[in-house]
Amino acid sequence: MIGPVIFAFVIGLLIILSRQINGRLSLSTTPLISSFWNHLVGLIFITLLGLAIGDLIPPNLAEIPLWVYLGGALGVFFVASGSWLITRIGAVNTTLLLISGQMVSGVVLDFARGVPITLWACVLGIVLIFAGMALTQRKG
């Protein structure tokens, strides 16, 4: 159990580290150029890994609906906005606000898709998040 716990924690560290590094690249270039390099280098890395261990191209490729490929396009904007934000409002604020958006929209998406949710916990969680977001704003 300690193995997965460490992995899961490290995932969080890697997310922040990669945003920090992309942010540094964007300082000397632009957020969009930085996002391009992030995706290209990631693509090369995963291609090499896939060639080594397989599983890159599934046998049911033709059956996969085209709309699932939208995720990659959205990722470009997500990475670029992360670089843009972190160089302006810092790592903590960027992380807090991105996670706020992710949590609230996640609840809305589950609710819209009819996935069962525990209403009191979701509502209370969203109220706490909105209160925290309000506090990040300048006074007055």
Partner 1 sequence: MTSPTAQRAKPLYLLAAFGSGCLLTCAVFFNGEAGRFGGAMFSSWQAHGVGTVVAALLLAFIWRRERKAAAEARETYGKPPLWAYLAGILGGITVILTSWSVNSPLALAGTLALGLAGQFTLSLIADYWGLLGLPKRRLDMRDTASFVLIAAGSLLIILFGVGSA
* Interface positions, 53-72, toward partner 1 (CB under 8 A): 53, 55-58, 60-61, 63-65, 67-72
Residue 125: partners with Cβ closer than 8 Å, 6 or more residues away:
103, 107
Q: How many residues bind partner 1 (CB under 8 A)?
A: 117
**Which of positions 116-135 make contact with partner 1 (CB under 8 A)?**
116-118, 121-122, 124-129, 131-135
Q: In the complex, what is the shortest distance from the CB of residue 66 to partner 1, in angstroms, rounded to a whole number?
A: 11
Among residues 42, 44, 23, 43, the alpha carbon closest in space to that of 34 is found at 23
Site for partner 1 in 26-55 (CB under 8 A): 26-30, 32-47, 49-50, 53, 55
Structure-block tokens of residue 133: 């977001």
Residue 123 beta carbon to partner 1: minimum distance, rounded to whole angstroms = 8
Within 82-121, the residues that bind partner 1 by CB under 8 A are 82, 84-107, 109-110, 115-118, 121
Candidates 74, 112, 114, 140; binder of partner 1 (CB under 8 A) is 74
- Cβ proximity of 111 and 117 under 8 Å: yes
Please compute, for residue 131, the number of CA atoms within 13 A of its CA located in the half-sphere on the CB side: 6
CA distance 33 to 75: 14
